[in-house]
Structures are given as structure tokens and as C-alpha cells.
Amino acid sequence: MRGSSYAHCLDESTLSFREENYMKMVAATNNKGKLAELVSILSNLGIEVISLDEAGFNEEIIESGKTFEENALIKAETVMRKTGLSAIGDDSGLEIDALNGEPGIYSARYAEPGKRKKTVLEKLQGVPEEKRTARFVCAIACVLSNGEKIVTKGTCEGIIINECRGEGGFGYDPIFYVPEYSQTFAEMPPELKNSISHRAKAIRLMVEKLKGRLNDAVI
């Protein structure tokens, strides 16, 4: 899959880098939403992102880290060692100030599937808008097939609204409102979300760190 929603955010040097450094990378995630975003973003950089199934990886990865960065690195390193291909791991979540940073690294396991947004909204009942500040955090870890490790982090600030809005995105997107754009992540066109999201910011930093390194990796 090749995407175009991120291309307008790239400078000329990055576009040149894209054309000269096409490679294949395994996305260390079973989350279809995250996989789609990584494919959309990285395909514009000349990187073919393949799924765990396509790479023949079917083992469970234990996320035992205490930070987003540690968990992202665990995922990428495990997949690279098993497949021999460069791998990219993503660990992301929602930090809500009124809940002392919860759900944080436990965002995907905060409640039963289908009840996570409801759980957050219930815990925030009675909390005024000015105190419902939150941010999405994303750590990206890339482990190249030569063993080199690169980790970056991005954030996107917003507010948790009182109800779900929008049909797009995934996870907590329908309740995460970005005042600057007067939309939730779920209301945004994919092109917009993929240009301002925590994941997009972490990826941009990753691209800068990858420049000059990909040619040394066996892909």
C-alpha cells in the first residue's frame, strides 16, 4: 500500500531521500489502525511497511516496559530478531491530566474492549472542560537489520470532550478534541490527522534519524 497523506509535510531533502532509499520494514503491531497509519506515513518515504502476518511472525510480544519508549523497543527488537528484517515498533496512548496521566501505557488495556472510551468519560464526569486537558503520546522504535536502535517520541495536545464525535480513526479518537482544528481525531480527514498526530511527529523525528543509516542496513 502506498499513501500520499503525509507527502505535503516533507521537505525536498526528505523526498529525495525517499526516492533513493526504498526498503522493507515490518510493523510490530497487530492493531490494524496503527498499521494503516504507519503504511500511509512511511510509504511516502520510500519504505514498504509489511504486517506481522506478511513477515511470518505469529508470536505474542510481552509489553513489560514501564514507558512508551521501552515497550516500543521491545516490540521492534523482538520482531527484528525473529524475522531478520528491519522492524518498527509503536507504543502509544492517551494521558489525561485530571486522571494523573491515566490510562497512559495501559491505554489498550484500560478496560474491556469496547468500553474504554466509556470508562474514561465516566471517570471524567463533573470535570470542567478547562481541566480535561490530555495528550496522545507515541514512541517509535526502529531496530534496523544491522542491529542499530533508534527511538523517537511525539505528542499531540487536546481536550477530552463529553461524548463521542466522528466515525474515523480508532481507539480514543472520537473523544480527543483538538481545539486548533475544532475537530476530534475521529472527525478529521486521514490526511490531516496523519500530518499533526503524535505518531506523525514521532515518525518525522525518526526519518531525520534514519537518514544516512538505511544504506548500512541489510534489507
Tell me the catalytic residues: 91
How would you class 13 by CB atoms within 10 Å of its CB: exposed for 0-12, middle for 13-18, buried for 19 or more? exposed
| 132 and 90 Cβ atoms separated by less than 8 Å | no
Max Cα separation, the chain? 55
Phi, psi angle pair for 26, to nearest 5°: -90, 130
| 157 and 147 Cβ atoms separated by less than 8 Å | no
> What span, in angstroms and rounded, lies between the C-alpha atoms of 166 and 175?
9
Torsion-angle region of residue 101: left (phi > 0), alpha (psi -120 to 50) or beta?
A: left
What CA–CA distances, in Å, run from 104 to 11, 67, 115, 132? 32, 9, 16, 15
One-letter amino acid of 89: G
How would you class 142 by CB atoms within 10 Å of its CB: exposed for 0-12, middle for 13-18, buried for 19 or more? buried
Strand order in the sheet with 176-178: 47-50, 23-27, 87-96, 133-143, 149-160, 176-178, 183-184
